[in-house]
Amino acid sequence: MSFVSSVDMKIQSILFAALGAAGLTATMPLAAKPVQQLEASYGMAAAVAGEARLGEARFVQLWTDDPDTFSSHWSSGELPDGVTSHRARRGEMLKMYIAIDGCQRDRRGICMLQGTFQLRRPDGSPDGDPIIFTAWQGKAPPKGQLALSGANIGAFIGDDDPAGDYTASLTITDAVSRQSGTSTVTLTFTD
């Protein structure tokens, strides 16, 4: 199932709602990774990739131009080393995965994270309407583990779009704690 944030927008921002199993209405994690393992593998790249905090919880935007390899590595227990990217050519898609470390649990042990994604063109103007989606709903990932949200977003520029630096902003709001955090990443699209 996919949603285009605006029919008339120039750069296509697409939300893919990937569910963990048939019939589930909540997004589910693909796998969990220790935070220290990701930091050791990426060093400062995790922060560059768009890390933000909401209280004690945090999330990271991980962009790639090779989503199949990224997903394969993550699902098989390997870190997606060397497959993150913030650069693409015209017509090529970059895909964002959201890695989550913790969230506030309700009395049933469930957490709910809402996401808002906004892409801005090189001139700073918004590129379509913000995309609002559920980033996580279900059992909270273990503290100190990065779990991949089932929601992800893809972006590319078409023939009529200007090449240049686009700003991808992701705000995650924890519905239980009512805390929010925003991360921003620059995506570079070239001819």
- Give the pLDDT score at 80: 63
> Which residues lie closer than 8 Å to 45 by C-beta, 6 or more apart?
84
Q: Which amino acid is at 8?
A: D
Q: Would you say residue 21 has pLDDT above 50?
A: no
For residue 1 the two structure tokens come to 């199932």
Over residues 60-88, the mean pLDDT reads 79
- Give the pLDDT score at 18: 29
Cβ atoms of 45 and 86 within 8 Å: the answer is no
**pLDDT confidence tier of residue 5, bands split at 50, 70 and 90:** very low
Over residues 28-41, the mean pLDDT reads 45
pTM: 0.76
Cβ atoms of 104 and 82 within 8 Å: the answer is no
**Percent of the chain scoring above 70 in pLDDT:** 71
State whether residue 102 is helix, strand or coil. Answer: coil
Burial 41-57 (b: 16+ CB within 10 A, else e): ebeeebeebbbbebeeb
Burial 107-145 (b: 16+ CB within 10 A, else e): eeebbbbbbbbbbbbbeeeebbebbebbbbbbebbeeeb
Strands (DSSP E) along 7-107, which ranges? 12-17, 32-34, 51-54, 57-64, 87-89, 94-101
DSSP lists the bridge partners of residue 59 as 52, 100
Cβ atoms of 132 and 119 within 8 Å: the answer is no
